Amino acid sequence: MKSAQRLTLYLLLAPAILWLGLLIVLPHVEILILSFSERVAPRVYAYGAGNYLEFFTEPLYWRTFARTAIMSIFVTAITLVLAFPIALYIARVAQGRTKAMLLLLCLLPFWVSELVRTLGWMMLLRETGVVSYLLRAMGLADQPVELLYNDGAVILGLVYGGLLFMIVPLANALESLEPSVVEAGFDLGGSRWTVLRRIVIPHAMPGIVAGSIIVFMLTVGNFATPVLLGGKNGLWFTEQIYAQFITRFNWPQGAAFGMLLLLLSSIIVWAGLRLTRQSLGTTLRQA
Amino acid sequence: MAPSTDLDIVNVTKRFGSHAAVDDVTFSVAPGEFFSILGPSGCGKTTLMRMIAGFEHPSSGDIRIRGKSMIGVPANRRPVNMVFQSLALFPMMSVGENVAYGLTCRGVNRADAEERANRVLERVGLKGFGERRVTALSGGQRQRVAIARCLVLEPTLVLLDEPLGALDLKLREHMKIELKQLQGTFNTTFAYITHDQSEALVMSDRIAVMNQGRFEQVGSPRELYHNPTTPFVASFVGETNRWQGETVGETAGTTSVRLPSGAVLQGRGTASQPTALAFVRPEAIALAQGEVGLGGLPNRFEGRVSAVLFDGANSSLLITTPGFEEPIRAVLPQAGPLAGIEVGAPVHLGWAADAMKVFAA
Amino acid sequence: MLTKRAGLKLATAFAALMVAGTASAAEKLRLLTWADYAPADIVQQFTKETGIEVEITLSNNEEMISKLRATQGAGFDLVQPSQDRIAGPQQEFGIYKPLDVSKLKSDLFIASMLEATKKNTTLDGKVYGVPHIWGTDGLIVNTKTAPNVADYNDLCSAAISGKASFRAKRPTLIAFAFANGMDPFASYNDPKAYTAMMEKVGAKLAECKKNVKYFWDGKEQLLNSLRSGEIVAAMAWDTGGWKLNSENPEIKFVAPKSGALGWVDTFAIPAKGRNDDAAYKWINFNMRPEIAAKVAAAAGNFTASNGADKLMQGKLKDQFAESFPKAAIDNIKWYPAVPAGIEEIEGKILDRLKAGS
């Protein structure tokens, strides 16, 4: 009887386990193994940690890595600061139709692919683009302004792409905050800032952490936005991985970079959770 | 000279569109008073309270606390604190932090705030609860935290918005007494709103009965109970029998009311209009096995017990009586031959003219 | 619930579908090629003549090799990498299949080009590629706004600061090596010397980076910027230059003083191609002068088909003549086969170039 029950359980779990195993675990194991192989001669490979050593000895790679990490954290922070008032408005002020409209408005850019969105930004920001034209028309610039191909453009594009993924968990978290709790915060003498700092933000913390993790992951793993908007200066770690795999045919090196990126994201997410004293469980529920 | 009132509401009106939620209300609350506003839901009492707290702004009129107008003063600058219906404790803070919150907002340093919070917690019977999570408290304990959180600030006035609503009956009965005692020991002015007449009657020094944005009557619990000045107060405060009829005469302070069935009742009151409402409290109805037992009462009838509603000291009888559309409610005698009366038994009933209030409908 | 009978019917239908699916797949040629190398009308004509359908996937050299490497040479029946990218990857990854030259009509090819390509793509005595389309890398210059650009190094001149462009890819390294008096091809088989040379080129390019608006990647992106005037000079393919020249005579394709870089795109068969017959048919079909002329016109480049040049339109010929005087033709540097490991050296230089600021 008992073994039959267990069998049923296994059968029911089988699709999920297969899914996890075949699509997530197996490829990662394969990449991990690949990352430890080194080319000796054509079609001859040996095992070794050389690919990881290469990462640490070549300043170019770890600098790109650090740059990607720092910029991603920065992008996440900006996204959070921008998304918070929007989420607050959607969750606490907007009602019924307006609320749905606002959420739809946030969702709208995601009906087209990331590539198209990024190209849209390029249209706006390029030297002969709309913004440059407007600046000249308003007399704020006397010659065409190139707004593309710098870190600012990359950050702009990444923040834009991450906004929705921050707003939704934030609005979710803020919506569950009882209005009377906020009123009590004022009633007992709290200023707007005190109420925000001691009541609203702590309450929204699971949403903040969930949104930040999502945006950070999306940003770190983004490829098209930094490449297209950053141009010659838009170096991103995913680009290094792509270059290793595709233009250099150096799969083991690319695999090692991939594993390092995975490690980086995991460490930063873990550190974020520790810092905010949130557990992964509550955060995932919020997301 | 210190003003003799803590709170003055002067001709306050609050309109939402064309609807007046609070319509020209005026009253004062004296220092140390337990003042209740009693009314059915939607009568405007919550709006009135939120205007005192500073969450709503009156369309016209003035709100003064200790003689100072509060118009334009934001909620966080008013010497008024509120106990919310949902209590609205801060779930992200411990019990101690909840109580100390208001003090730290005022700039009291953390050690002092904690110290004072602990002292207040001790006074409300929650000694040593400072470190607990608010989610780990029972309903009554949460209640006390909510009150302690206000009292620690020593406000001029504490507003309480049906704070007992979420509690079960037994705890509610207990908390009624405790609230009254707390108010006494802290000697703070309480303004309490409720739709539960029993809460209001038990705790209050004075009660305002509110209906459709207006105050019907303000007075002590006894005044309201025994001398209601409007039919609404008569029916809303306490149990009562209520009949509609026609005034047929008024002699020497006695008003005669004829019911649709033809029965004529004698009562007190002014009836300026032909249609009238008559009210008699169940405990004012005398019961007897024979007509002789009712002596010289002007209103005497004979009926049959249709239900015994046993509820200990609050037990009552429903008596189907010819001439009345609804059964008449009377208190079940606790002693004597009628104490054991059963459904179906015939009974004589009557009441004095003084016991029946007559109002123009 | 399904009855037994309905289930049986469904199974039969499914089986029929499978058979039909494999049947139609047998008549398919899966072609991995560059944009414009297989125009729709040519494909239609081929299908009409042979009954073989052509499934086209567009790509570039690196992606072609990466795709084939990922599947160890499966997924396509015919690919078109450049001739210098065959021997090296073949040695490293074994992604191609030796060609059966007897199945090709040799007289359809320009003989000298066929021989040169065969030689370049031979590994262990076996031939892996035959030529199809060829062209050059040089400079597209807006002669009005950047009149003084005549060689690769001029892209770094202060006169066109912020308005120049090149790719962050290996042809740029090769070009700048030549422009600065080096011969990279001579050092191809000496990794040490090649590394030293590339480091010098890398330094030169790093210095030049501030001049560059962006490292171009997609051809259309570059052409648009040249059209709008945001870029006035760039290292790019001749075909793009001539296309712009037709629109705006002030924009010209210039063969650089230190030499245009000559490339040849080939036909090669992947190691696990399933339809070699169709592949050979496609090659022979494409090398017919009238077909080759149409393809060359569509791509804006030149063809290795013998006699097709006589059928080509006059415009391109004129543009070629303007860009390439006799001396410039002789000065074209043709890529020799890239030995394995070279990309590793170049890659790092390019990574540093992209990372520097």
Choose among A60, A128, A235: nearest Cβ to C230: A128
Residue C234 domain flag: yes
Distance from CA of A273 to the nearest CA of B (A): 17
pTM here?
A: 0.79
| B101 touches A: beta carbon within 8 Å | yes
Q: Check CB contact under 8 Å for A247 and C92.
A: no
**pLDDT of res. A249:** 83
Q: Tell me the per-residue pLDDT of C96-112, one tens digit each, with 9 for 90 and over.
A: 999 999 999 999 998 88
pLDDT higher than threshold 50 for residue C23: no
Give B150's contacts in chain A (Cβ within 8 Å): 188
Check whether residue C152 and residue C284 sit in a common domain: no
| A150 touches C: beta carbon within 8 Å | no
Distance from CA of C354 to the nearest CA of A (A): 6
Distance from CA of C64 to the nearest CA of A (A): 9
Check whether residue C248 and residue C283 sit in a common domain: no
The percent of residues in chain A predicted with pLDDT above 90, rounded, is 29
Check whether residue C48 and residue C115 sit in a common domain: yes
Q: Check CB contact under 8 Å for A191 and B92.
A: no
Choose among B55, B86, B105: nearest Cβ to A188: B105
The percent of residues in chain C predicted with pLDDT above 90, rounded, is 59
Which of B83, B89, B101 to probe the A interface (max A CBs under 10 A)?
B101
Give B157's contacts in chain A (Cβ within 8 Å): none
Q: Check CB contact under 8 Å for C229 and A128.
A: yes
Q: Which residues span the domain enclosing C246?
A: 136-262+328-355
Give B51's contacts in chain A (Cβ within 8 Å): none
Average pLDDT of chain C to the nearest whole number: 88
Give A245's contacts in chain C (Cβ within 8 Å): 66
Residue C11 domain flag: no
Give C339's contacts in chain A (Cβ within 8 Å): none
Q: Are residues A287 and A213 in contact, defined by beta-carbon separation less than 8 angstroms?
A: yes
Which residues 66-125 of chain C have a CB within 8 Å of chain A?
66, 69, 89, 91-94
Q: Check CB contact under 8 Å for A188 and B88.
A: no
Choose among C228, C230, C343: nearest Cβ to A248: C343
Question: In which residue ranges of chain B is pLDDT below 50?
Answer: 1
DSSP of B9-33: EEEEEEEETTEEEEEEEEEEE-TT-
Query: Which residue of chain A is at minimal alpha-carbon distance from C343?
Result: A248
Choose among B85, B93, B105: nearest Cβ to A194: B105
pLDDT higher than threshold 60 for residue C14: no
Which residues 336-355 of chain C have a CB within 8 Å of chain A?
340, 343-344, 347-348, 350-352, 354-355
Q: Check CB contact under 8 Å for A187 and B149.
A: no
Residue C96 domain flag: yes
Give A189's contacts in chain B (Cβ within 8 Å): 76-77, 102, 105-106, 153
Residue C78 domain flag: yes
Residue C118 domain flag: yes
Q: Check CB contact under 8 Å for A190 and B106.
A: no
Contact residues of A toward B, CB < 8 A: 178, 180-181, 183-191, 194, 198-199, 202-203, 205
Check whether residue C130 and residue C99 sit in a common domain: yes
Q: Check CB contact under 8 Å for A248 and C212.
A: no
| Euclidean distance between CA atoms A248 and A39, whole angstroms | 13
Count of A-C CB contacts under 8 Å = 70
Check whether residue C208 and residue C348 sit in a common domain: yes
Touching status, chains A and B (3+ beta-carbon pairs under 8 Å): yes
Q: C10 versus B192: which is more confidently predicted?
A: B192
> A114-125 and A130-137 helices cross at what angle (nearest 10)?
30
All residues at 6 or more sequence positions from B95 whose CB lies less than 8 Å from its CB, including other chains: B121, B126, B129, B130, B131, B132, B133, B134, B137, B145
Give C168's contacts in chain A (Cβ within 8 Å): 232
Q: Check CB contact under 8 Å for A246 and C215.
A: no
Check whether residue C32 and residue C56 sit in a common domain: yes
The series of mean pLDDT values per 10 residues for chain A, 287 residues long, is 79 84 85 86 81 87 90 95 93 84 83 83 82 84 80 90 90 90 93 93 90 92 87 82 85 91 89 80 64
For residue A254, which amino acid is it? G
| Euclidean distance between CA atoms B179 and A79, whole angstroms | 48
Touching status, chains A and C (3+ beta-carbon pairs under 8 Å): yes
**pLDDT of res. A9:** 85
Give the H or E element holding residue A170: helix A151-175
Residue C274 domain flag: yes
- C180: CATH: 3.40.190.10
Report the pLDDT averaged over residues C303-323.
82
pLDDT higher than threshold 70 for residue C3: no
| A126 touches C: beta carbon within 8 Å | yes
Q: Check CB contact under 8 Å for A189 and B54.
A: no
Q: Which of B6, B164, B138 is nearest to B83 (CA)?
A: B164
Q: Check CB contact under 8 Å for A243 and C343.
A: no
pLDDT higher than threshold 50 for residue C25: no
**pLDDT of res. C19:** 46
Residue C312 domain flag: yes
Query: Which residue of chain A is at minimal alpha-carbon distance from C61?
Result: A247
| Euclidean distance between CA atoms C138 and A7, whole angstroms | 68
Instruction: Count structural domains, chain C.
Output: 2
Check whether residue C216 and residue C303 sit in a common domain: no
Check whether residue C267 and residue C257 sit in a common domain: no
Check whether residue C178 and residue C233 sit in a common domain: yes
**pLDDT of res. A121:** 86
**pLDDT of res. C269:** 96
Q: Which of B199, B104, B212 is nearest to B160 (CA)?
A: B199
Pairing of the two strands C233-237 and C130-142: antiparallel
Q: Tell me the per-residue pLDDT of C39-54, one tens digit each, with 9 for 90 and over.
A: 999 999 999 999 999 9
Backbone angles phi, psi at C148, to 5 degrees: -100, 10
Rg (CA), chain B: 25
A 10 A CB-CB count for A43 gives: 11
Q: Which of B163, B135, B131, B137 is nearest to B150 (CA)?
A: B163
**pLDDT of res. C219:** 84
pLDDT higher than threshold 90 for residue C272: yes
Report the pLDDT averaged over residues C78-85.
93
Q: Check CB contact under 8 Å for B90 and A181.
A: yes
Using the 8-state DSSP alphabet, how is residue C72 labeled?
A: T
Choose among A232, A243, A250: nearest Cβ to C215: A232
For residue A175, which amino acid is it? E
- Domains of chain A (ranges, CATH numbers): 48-286 (1.10.3720.10)
Check whether residue C278 and residue C337 sit in a common domain: no
Pairing of the two strands C233-237 and B206-211: unpaired
Check whether residue C141 and residue C246 sit in a common domain: yes
Q: Tell me the per-residue pLDDT of C146-199, one tens digit each, with 9 for 90 and over.
A: 999 999 999 999 999 989 999 988 999 999 999 999 999 999 989 999 999 999
Q: Check CB contact under 8 Å for A231 and C62.
A: no
Pairing of the two strands B206-211 and B34-38: parallel
Most confident of A178-192, B282-296, C3-17, C288-302: A178-192
Distance from CA of C340 to the nearest CA of A (A): 8
Residue C2 domain flag: no
Check whether residue C34 and residue C124 sit in a common domain: yes
- Domains of chain B (ranges, CATH numbers): 7-233 (3.40.50.300), 239-360 (2.40.50.140)
Distance from CA of A191 to the nearest CA of B (A): 7
Choose among C212, C228, C344: nearest Cβ to A232: C212
**pLDDT of res. A283:** 66
Interior/surface letters C129-145, b for 16+ CB within 10 angstroms, e for the rest? bbbbbbbbbbbbbbeeb
